[in-house]
Every structure is written in C-alpha cells, then in structure tokens.
Amino acid sequence: MIIKFWGVRGSIPAPIDPIDYESRIKEILRISHKKWQKDLSLQPEKIYEELPLHLREIIGGNTTCVELIDGNEQLIFDMGTGARRLGYDMMAKGRSGDIHILLTHTHWDHIQGWPFFIPGYLPTNNIHFYSAFKDCEERFVIQQKFEFFPLGFHEMLSKREFHYFEAGDTFNIGSFTIKTEPLIHPGNSTAYRIEKDNKSFIFATDTEFFGPELPKIIKKKKKFFEKTDVLVIDAQYSLKEAEQKIGWGHTSMIIAVDCAMEWKVKKLVLTHHEPAHDDYSTYQLYEEAVEHLKEKYKNQITIELAKEGKIIEI
C-alpha cells in the first residue's frame, strides 16, 4: 500500500502567508550567510539539509484529502481542497473508470474540493461515494446550488453512485477489506480501517479524544485501532486548545500519542492541522509530541507529521 497526502489542514484552507514567506526567506539568507562566512565552499544543498524543519519543509494549506494505492487499486479519503491536485495527478496518469471515495463526514473542509475534481466531469468515470449518511448525495447537491457554485452537481458528466453503511459495518472494495468505526465529532464522523495481505491502514480524522472518560474511550476503541501498521489521526490542537475547545471534535498531538501507544500502533501520523497555526507553530507542537513519546514511552513507536506530498509505504 502507498499512502499519499494531498491535503492535511483542518477547518479551512490555510495557504502560506506572504509575511510568513518573507520571514522564512530572510531567515534562510541569514543562516546561509553565516555558514558561507565560515566556509565559502559549502553547497546550497548541504545548507538546505541542515535548515530547521519549519524552513526546510512546508506543511501545506489544502484541506483533507488522502490517497491509497495498491497496484491498480485506489481509494480516496475525503474531498477537501487537496482533491483538486489529486484530480490533476489522476488525469496525468490516465486513472479512470471506477473511482472509490470514502467520506469521513461532510463538513466543508472535507467536501469543498469536489467541484474542482476534474475526474468528476468525465463521462467515462463511475464515481462511488461511501458514507454513513443516508442523505449524502443531497449534501453534495446543496454545496453546488447555483447560489454557491455556477455548475450543479447533476450537471457534472461522470456517473455517480452513493453507498450507505452503518458506522461499524465491514464491506469490501476490490481486494480491500474496509472496516468502519464511529468517531466523536459534531454531526458524526467515521474512521476507516483498510486491510489487505496482512497489512492495515487506518484513517481517523475529525475525532475528539479528551476528558475524564478518555481511558474508557481508548479501551472501547481498542479493538478497531489496535496493532495497525499506520494510523493517520486527527491532531489539530495543543493540550491547552483541547481543554478550551471541548466538544469541537478534535484531538491534541500529545493525546494522539497516548492513544497510539495504548493501541500498539506501529506508525502514527498526525494530521488535520489547525489553520490558525503557521508551520513553525505546528512543528513546535510536533516536537512536543516527539519529546512526550521519548520521555514517557522510550520511542516505542514511529511518529510523523502529515504534510502535502508526503508518501508512506506499508
């Protein structure tokens, strides 16, 4: 299985701010200047490799969209604004025919990329939507009412089918076994566990693990989450924000680490980053989570930060 991240922000797209961009360039130039004063033969590539993470890498501002590929089979998780670039990539690679989209829920940041998903306009494509919402099609139609978008949902030329399941159900798509689990989020959200050839992947964004009932919740969810190869989970908040925003349906990075340890996950990937956090702030929270893992759990699992363009192979 190959996992690729096309959108990793939560709530609303958060492109890099011009002031932030300018400050990064200036800081990179200052660092480079100091290094070249000491050794003029240093190559730019060497300096780049030694830059702090928040200068060397960009997390990305598109909202949630993740792709899973195994051979000729593909699954797509959510249709945030990252779906636009995914669509371009699919067109370039000639991916067409049956397209399978697994929806966690239909808050705007998880469906707003759909009208810009080019494969949705091709009559040769049959697009399957899977969700735990009986009125899922109606929700997509409303998003593209003329008051909000110039082209209606049913004016798009692709064929579309909506498949309903109860959260907790198991079903198959091709050679994939899909297990589902309800999550704690306003309006409900669904986690997906994908299994194939003794490998497993879980996508569980927009969920709140917090509060006095947390130990019971972690235990209750263990059967679904335990011993997965890769868990991609909502980690939008700092601990302080999680305390301030009880009921908003999101998790802190540090608590995500605690959950992953209890569930004996092999690799944890933190996603759905807060749009109010710039990359520097997000990396600070990530470093706190890494330190928490080191001090409390002696680095027993692998932890990574979801970023646009990031690829993980299982």
Burial class (CB in 10 A: 0-12, 13-18, 19+), 82: buried
How many Cβ atoms sit within 10 Å of the Cβ of residue 232? 28
Q: 3-class SS at 278?
A: coil
CB 191 within 8 A of CB 204: yes
Distances (CA, A) of 295 to 69, 98, 291: 35, 47, 6
User: What secondary structure letter does DSSP report for 108?
Assistant: G
Report the percentage of the chain scoring pLDDT > 70.
100
Question: What pLDDT is attached to residue 252?
Answer: 97
Q: What DSSP character marks residue 279?
A: H
Find out whether 62 and 85 touch, Cβ atoms under 8 Å: yes
Can you give the pLDDT at residue 186?
97
Spatial strand order in the sheet of 302-305: 170-173, 176-183, 189-196, 199-204, 230-234, 267-271, 302-305
Tell the residue number behind the tokens 């990937």, with chain if given. 269
Report the pLDDT value the prediction gives residue 6, as an integer from 0 to 100. 98
Q: What is the pLDDT of residue 24?
A: 95
Residue 42, Cα to own-chain centre: how many angstroms?
Answer: 37
Q: CA torsion 158→109→267→244, rounded to 10°?
A: -160
Question: Which residues of the chain carry a pLDDT beneath 70?
Answer: none
Q: Which residues of 41-68 are buried (b: 16+ CB within 10 A; e: fewer)?
A: eeeeeebeeeeebbbebebbbbbbbbbb
Question: For residue 170, which phi and psi values (nearest 5 degrees)?
Answer: -125, 140
- Position 194 scores a pLDDT of 98
Residue where the block lists tokens 């959108």? 7
Nearest CA among 176, 209, 204, 174 for reference residue 192 = 204
Q: Tell me the pTM.
A: 0.96
In tens, the pLDDT along 118-176 reads 999 999 999 999 999 999 999 999 999 999 999 999 999 999 999 999 999 999 999 99
Model pLDDT, residue 152? 97
- DSSP type of residue 107: -
Pick from 254, 257, 259: which is nearest to 243 by CA? 254
Cβ(199)–Cβ(267) below 8 Å: no
Rounded CA-CA distance 84/68 in Å is 16
Instruction: Describe the strand order of the beta sheet including 311-313 as a list of residue ranges.
Output: 159-164, 126-131, 98-102, 73-77, 65-70, 2-7, 311-313
Q: What pLDDT is attached to residue 69?
A: 98
Q: For the chain, what is the mean pLDDT?
A: 97
